Amino acid sequence: MKVVTDLKTEFKENPLDFLQYQSSNPGSATGLVVEGKKISLEEDSKKALPLTFTPFVQRGITFSNRIIVSPMCMYSSQDGFLTNWHIAHYGGLSMQSPGGIVVEASAVEPHGRISINCAGIWKDEHIESHKKVVDIAKSNNVKIGIQIVHSGRKGSSLPLWESRRGIAGNSIGGWVDEVYGPSDIAFDETSADPKELSVEQIERIIQSFVNAAVRVDKAGYDFIEIHAAHGYLLSSFLSPNANKRTDIYGGSFENRTRILLEISEKVRKIFPESKPVWVRISCHEWIENGWTNEDSVRLSKLLKDIGIDLIDCSSGGISNEQVISAGPMFQVPFAEQIRKEANIATGAVGMITKPSEIEDILQSGKSDVVFLARQFLLEPSIVKRAAVELGVDIAYPNQYLYAKSLIH
């Protein structure tokens, strides 16, 4: 009889606090699969390892592979708090072994939420609920970050299944009279009529981003992403169509980028040196005389100088007059141009659904990581499928090892 007297995962005084930590690094490559046979990762075979399953290292963080769960609004919060639903959602995603997860856009102020049911991190009371989500992801050895946002003129909206057009009235938790933007220009005829922010209000919002970043670190997140895309506040400041100000935050390129650069610099200074700071931008406005990818390259160079580690390259959402030529991988060229011309790491996004597409993007140097959003909702096991199709043997969570024998 063999008696085991120690465990890698210790029991807790309160059983409800127990988490079974992984003894391996799920999602990382452990070998190659050639003609149905496993080949260990010796030095010579590492050269043949698909880039999708090579580690991605930034500062003190190592992502096990290069497939990242993109931030997606879940519209499942009250007063900004994450709930048991979020623990199930993000915990479930972490069990699928992506390289990293970006938690949905979380507001830096109550009126910075996108919808009345969006997440927040504007007060210390939010930290505990975020920490629960962080803990479950980390128990599965998955890196987890969070996107912070101010909704600007697109705030006070409704969950998408309630209405994609129209705003939430004050009687159901909206803030119709407290929607702000760089100028008093509404996004469209069904959105709120925004008020133009004063310089004092802008300074308060900048500090709100900084305060939120402090809470992000306290919650234990591995990295942070500043949301400056899709027509929300920081994105609308960048746009010459949404920003008609005549002060230091409007007019020239330098003035329109000022608020994002100030926030990025302050967040980078207070966020731990060992943790990456990313920025998501809309690389192209998709309308005539709007923000272009050339502007994005110029901005990305400035962000790199500040110490930003990666540009998450999306597009659109700034104007309701946009005409987008959407199709598989249609936004990848934005990431490629910024990576090459600004010499900064990028993430490619948008209608990327096949492992072969992910690998081609990485092999051709178009981006450093690939963000998948809806594909993870449609197919949570996409990382495992990618491993099978690309001929890679990856580590599985201990609890899912039973399934691995079915494919190898």
| CB of 130 closer than 8 Å to CB of 82 | yes
C-alpha span between 319 and 154 (Å, rounded): 11
The model's pLDDT over 316-349, given as tens digits with 9 standing for 90+, comes to: 999 888 888 888 999 999 999 999 999 999 999 9
List Cα–Cα distances, 267 to 173, 196, 213, 273, 346, in angstroms. 30, 24, 6, 11, 19
Q: Which residue has the tokens 């809470």?
A: 215
What is the domain class of 51-390 according to CATH?
A: alpha beta
* Residue 78 DSSP class: B
The model's pLDDT over 351-386, given as tens digits with 9 standing for 90+, comes to: 999 999 999 999 999 999 999 999 999 999 999 999
Query: Whose CA is closest to 121, among 157, 156, 145?
Result: 145
Q: Which residues are catalytic?
A: 232
Enumerate the domain spans of the chain.
Answer: 51-390
The model's pLDDT over 282-312, given as tens digits with 9 standing for 90+, comes to: 999 999 889 999 999 999 999 999 999 999 9
pTM, full prediction: 0.95
Collapse the DSSP code of 279 into the 3-class scheme (helix H, G, I; strand E, B; otherwise coil) and give the result. Answer: strand
C-alpha span between 176 and 174 (Å, rounded): 6
Half-sphere exposure of 177 (CA within 13 A, CB side): 2
